[in-house]
Amino acid sequence: MKILVTGATGNVGRHVVAQLTGHEVRVMVRSEAAFPEGIEVVRGDLGQPETLPEALAGVDAVFLFAVPGSGPAFVAAAEAAGVSRVVFLSSNAAANPDNAIGAYHHEIEEALRGSGLFWTFLRSGHMATNALPWAAQTRAGDVVRGPYAEATSAPVHEADMAAVAVLALTEPGHEGQIYEVTGPESITAAQQVELIGQALGRPISYQELPPEVAREQMSKFIPPFIIGPLFDGWAASVGVPAKVTPTVEKLTGRPARTFAEWARDRAADFS
């Protein structure tokens, strides 16, 4: 089986590549990147459909990263190439196409639903890597400033998301499934920051900013179509435990990694 991994340099994609041992793996990248020996590298971009035929030639299955507007062209190219299986890294927001973040995930999901491809959707409400933007603050001091200290989520470790993806890519029985993938616990933003501090061996606190102040600051580096849904979601989650699913343990046979484990794994990013 030959498997194409898109988004292969991303947080989840790089783990998918690492976990696909024993399989023929091709990665599609937009610029030069280093991969282990034996990994085939092709240049391509999901946003440039003319690059897809070469990347998809001879491929049996695809790990698909979400690129806005790419669904129909990818499906057409995958069907023409004879691809049989696609595992799509989607989002819980896809269930609400009126949500700006959900809209482009929904569009790709709908393109796959309407195709002749076997598909599996992996939906996450919150990746643990969403904490990485705090790294600049933890490297500079012992306080993280942001909105909604009590906003809750169930962050999933990118390696766990990749493990579910690899199963869906390489084993039968996952066709037509929508897997909601979470971490094992509901925790607040303030608790996440505390756990990052523990991983670094020093106390770090979360200082809550008024939403309007935080929105103004974050709008300098987050696109407007994303920042609105983000703030709406954070505000709605305050005081409401995040949904936790058993997907990782049910499919992989081992418990999902905690945020504390993730913080230890990524401590170098914050120090």
pLDDT at 246: 98
* Neighbour count for residue 193 (Cβ, 10 Å): 26
- Tell me: pLDDT of 221 over 90: no
Q: Residue 222 has what pLDDT?
A: 86
In the prediction, which pLDDT does 225 show?
82
- Asked if 238 and 134 count as a contact pair (C-beta separation under 8 A), the reply is no
Q: How far apart are CA 204 and CA 216, in angstroms?
A: 24
Residue 149 near residue 190, CB atoms below 8 Å: yes
Mean pLDDT lowest among 35-49, 56-70, 76-90, 215-229 = 215-229
- Distance in angstroms (rounded) separating the CA atoms of residues 271 and 268: 5
Parallel/antiparallel/unpaired status of strands 187-188 and 152-153? antiparallel
Query: Quick check: is 194 in a domain?
Result: no
pLDDT for 11-56, tens place per residue?
A: 999 999 999 999 999 999 999 888 999 999 999 999 999 999 999 9
Which whole-number Å values give the CA distances from 44 to 20, 29, 41, 51, 88, in the listed order?
21, 6, 10, 5, 18
SS3 category, 210: coil
Please name the residue that has the structure tokens 């240049």: 43
What pLDDT sits at residue 191? 98
Query: Which pTM value belongs to this model?
Result: 0.95
Does residue 53 lie within any of the structural domains? yes
The CATH number covering residue 50 comes to 3.40.50.720
Average pLDDT over residues 175-198: 98
Q: Is residue 81 part of a domain?
A: yes
- The single-letter DSSP state of residue 156 is B
Per-residue pLDDT, 100 = 82
Residue 73, in any domain of the structure: yes
Domain that holds residue 54: 2-123
* pLDDT score recorded for residue 224: 83
- Chain mean pLDDT for the chain: 96
pLDDT at 226 > cutoff 90: no
190 in a structural domain: no
Residue 92 belongs to a domain: yes
Q: Is residue 191 part of a domain?
A: no
Q: Is residue 211 part of a domain?
A: no
Q: How far apart are CA 71 and CA 239, in angstroms?
A: 36
Residue 195 clears pLDDT 90, i.e. is over it: yes
Q: Is the pLDDT of residue 190 over 90?
A: yes
Is the per-residue pLDDT at 214 higher than 90? yes
Q: How far apart are CA 136 and CA 27, in angstroms?
A: 30
- Give the separation between CA 227 and CA 217, rounded to whole angstroms: 11
DSSP symbols for 127-150: BGGGGGGGHHHHHH-SEEEES-TT
Alpha-carbon distance of 260 to 263, in angstroms, equals 5
* More confident site: 34 or 109: 109
Report which secondary-structure segment, H or E, holds 87. Answer: strand 85-89
DSSP one-letter code for 3: E
Domain count for the chain, please give it. 1
Kindly report, residue by residue over 150-161, the tens digit of the pLDDT: 999 999 999 999
Q: What is the mean pLDDT of residues 230-239?
A: 95
Report residue 220's pLDDT band, with 50, 70 and 90 as the boundaries. Answer: confident
Residue type, 112: L
CA angle centred on 140, ends 234 and 129, rounded to 5°: 40
Q: 107 pLDDT exceeds 90?
A: yes
